[in-house]
Amino acid sequence: MQESFNEIDNLFKGNIESFEMTPSEKVWDSLDNTLEKRANSKYKVIVFRLRAALVTLLLLFGTFVVYHFSVTNIESKEVTTDKPEILSSGNTDQMVSITAIENKSKSNNEKSFNQKEKRNSSIMNTSSFNTLLNKHSEATLKKTKISFPNYNENTATINPKGSSFTNLIESKEREFIDSKVIPDSMLENSNLNQPIASSIQKGDLPDSIISPESTDITPKGKLIKRFSFIAYFSPDLTKKYLVDDNTDNQSQSEYDGQESSDFSFNTGFLFGYDVTPKWSIKSGITYAYLMQSIKPKTVYVKTGNNGQQYYQFNTSYGSAQIPSDASTTQLSDSLRIKTSSTQLLQLVSVPLIAKYQIQRNKFSFYGQFGIAVNVLVGEKLLVETPNRTESITNIEGLREFNFGGIVGLGVSYNPIKKLSIMVEPTFRGSLTPINQNTSVKSYPYSLGLAIGLGWHL
Amino acid sequence: MSKKENIHLENSETELVRGCINNDRHLQSMLYKKYAGKMMTVCFRYSKNKEDAEDSLNEGFLKVFDNICSFKGEGSLEGWVRKIMVNTALEKLRRKSNLYKIVSIEDLKAEQLSHEDLESNLNAKELILLVQKLPPMYQIVFNLYAFEGLKHKEISAKLGISEGTSKSNLSDARTWLKKAYEKLSREQKILTA
């Protein structure tokens, strides 16, 4: 009997094994088309990434331009001339030359006045020059910031003892790095375009002129806070936009009916930089936790390339393989999952956000928008099979990273000078699908109410 | 085959794999042409008709091109491609097994086996079509045992059935094939006479 069976095996194997059939040409045509489409889609992905990179670059460039423009505006209100000017002598018996140079090293060297001192500075300034003239034939005021708060812009004249300053004072703030006070006799013999090597020391100036404090002062006298750190937490209502590419029977409506969002949140640390009093940029690192529940469903058996069989659990994000329990039960073609399953995704993002704010006393109202690179750091599907609960940590089809957009409004309250409390209704959405090579492309989005604390340096 | 020829074949296989990884359409086409005939026969054995076999072939080659970067060159490329084809066709047959009508030996007629594509090789034609006529589970077990060389333990693990069921299915498949072959041989003799 066994010999007879072996003969049958050999008869079939011997004849069929070496036999080659020619498939119809449509097989290769179809393959060729599919490969061509995939190649095109890869090309599209590359083009998209280039576009995303371009948008990011434009955003960064725009931010730089806004920053540069704002800094230029502030500085243009300060004295910019760096050439010595001969001031009209009027009735005085002395000529005064002052070189006013814009402050190029603010942070290190600025000396300022309080408002009261500023008010007096115009008077003291002229009188102090006279005093100094008595003490020094020529002098230099080094890195000393002097304000003229009560001067009109483009004011032409100060008349201490009949002398005048013309076309010199163009703003309410001035810094005189070199102030050269030259007697007539010396002036006659000297070239004013050459520096005169002598200086006025700090101790030579009246105390009321030099303030020991160092502070940034805007033209309005308002302090600018440059950097801030923000921590926030946002419970999110998460949904997803599905696009069905019609290559499979699993349609968008099927997933819509099966899946519903569950508890999700977003949290993170950001640092902010005030580019101008109204514009600022924020970036940092954030973490998103997305969870959805999936209604009971039937899953079907598949065979992997290694010959191992498993049940394929498809979701709108991707598909998971439920291992078959073939050692204890017979593998059937389908498996009924009788309870709801849970799927969760964890994403770490690096956002770049532009923020425009309007200050009202202790409150700031703002709008913000930006982009983010989202990196998938965790994925899990919890399924209850008849025998046990499966925790599957590999979901096929999910992309390692995708791009997202952020739009939001917010209000912040400053209970103390450096601390702010923020409330921000924020929309976050995917600009690119979170998955690939799946029948349905998923674009998750969420609406959250972020509560945050900011600390201004 | 000489040593030189072997080296040339290995090189060309490596080039094929590299080209396919780089999505070189010409080399993908060459790989397809090299194995399409043999793999069509494999798919045909696990299918119920030519259309299904071509579907499996198409799907199988897509898997080959998608996963070719995972081919480490540890075995032959043909063996690796064949394994993918078997799994693909097997999956399709199992999924559709309830759709096919089970043919009894009494219903088999010699005319049913005529096929214009196979006229050049009558023995192979008859035999392969007989395998196709087997009930799905018999067809799978017989193919895995006789052609893929799997043991009952491996078949039972692969299909999620007991070893006893595998042995029983194989025995039934052989009996069915033997009777069917004898019957059709007799009928063919009558037809040719």
Query: pLDDT > 90: what percent of chain A?
Result: 24
Q: What is the pLDDT of residue A305?
A: 63
From CA A274, how far away is CA A257, in angstroms rounded? 46
Lowest mean pLDDT of A71-75, A284-288, B75-79, B137-141, name the range.
A71-75
Q: What is the pLDDT of residue A456?
A: 87
Task: Give B-chain residues touching A438 at CB under 8 angstroms.
Answer: none
pLDDT one-digit tens code per residue, A169-204: 444 444 443 344 444 454 444 444 444 444 444 444
Pick among A12, A22, A331 to test the B interface (most B CBs inside 10 A): A12
Compute the average pLDDT of residues A72-98.
45
**Between chains, do B65 and A35 touch, taking CB under 8 Å as contact?**
yes
Helix (H/G/I), strand (E/B), else coil: B130: helix
pLDDT of A132 above 70: no
In this structure, how many other beta carbons lie within 10 angstroms of the beta carbon of residue A18? 11
pLDDT one-digit tens code per residue, A367-404: 999 999 999 999 999 988 777 788 888 888 899 889 99
The owner of tokens 């409390």 is A421
What band does A168 get if pLDDT is binned at 50, 70 and 90?
very low
**Between chains, do B145 and A9 touch, taking CB under 8 Å as contact?**
yes
What band does A426 get if pLDDT is binned at 50, 70 and 90?
very high
By C-alpha distance, which of B163, B168, B165, B170 is closest to B141?
A: B170
Lowest mean pLDDT of A87-96, A278-287, A357-366, A423-432, name the range.
A87-96
Which of B25, B83, B95 has its CB closest to that of A333?
Answer: B95
pLDDT one-digit tens code per residue, A298-339: 888 777 666 667 888 889 898 888 877 654 344 566 788 888
Which of B25, B44, B160 has its CB closest to that of A309?
Answer: B160
Q: What is the pLDDT of residue A368?
A: 94
Q: For residue B137, give how far its alpha carbon lies from the nearest alpha carbon of chain A (Å).
A: 13
DSSP strand E in A245-340: where?
259-261, 264-274, 279-294, 297-303, 309-314, 319-323, 334-337
State the count of interchain CB pairs (< 8 A) between A and B: 116
Q: What is the pLDDT of residue A197?
A: 40
Q: For residue A29, give how far its alpha carbon lies from the nearest alpha carbon of chain B (Å).
A: 10
Contact A419, A447 (CB under 8 A): no
**Between chains, do A15 and B177 touch, taking CB under 8 Å as contact?**
no
Compute the average pLDDT of residues B31-43.
92
Edge-to-edge strands, sheet with A309-314 = A334-337, A297-303, A309-314, A319-323, A395-396
Burial class (CB within 10 angstroms; exposed 0-12, middle 13-18, buried 19+) of A396: middle
> What is this model's ipTM?
0.77
Indicate the residue type of A213.
E
Chain A residue with CA closest to B130: the answer is A12
Pick among A6, A10, A19 to test the B interface (most B CBs inside 10 A): A19
Q: What is the pLDDT of residue A76?
A: 57
Task: Give B-chain residues touching A33 at CB under 8 angstroms.
Answer: none
Which of B28, B124, B158 has its CB closest to that of A309?
Answer: B158
Q: For residue B160, give how far its alpha carbon lies from the nearest alpha carbon of chain A (Å).
A: 5
pTM higher than the cut 0.80: no
**Between chains, do B127 and A11 touch, taking CB under 8 Å as contact?**
yes
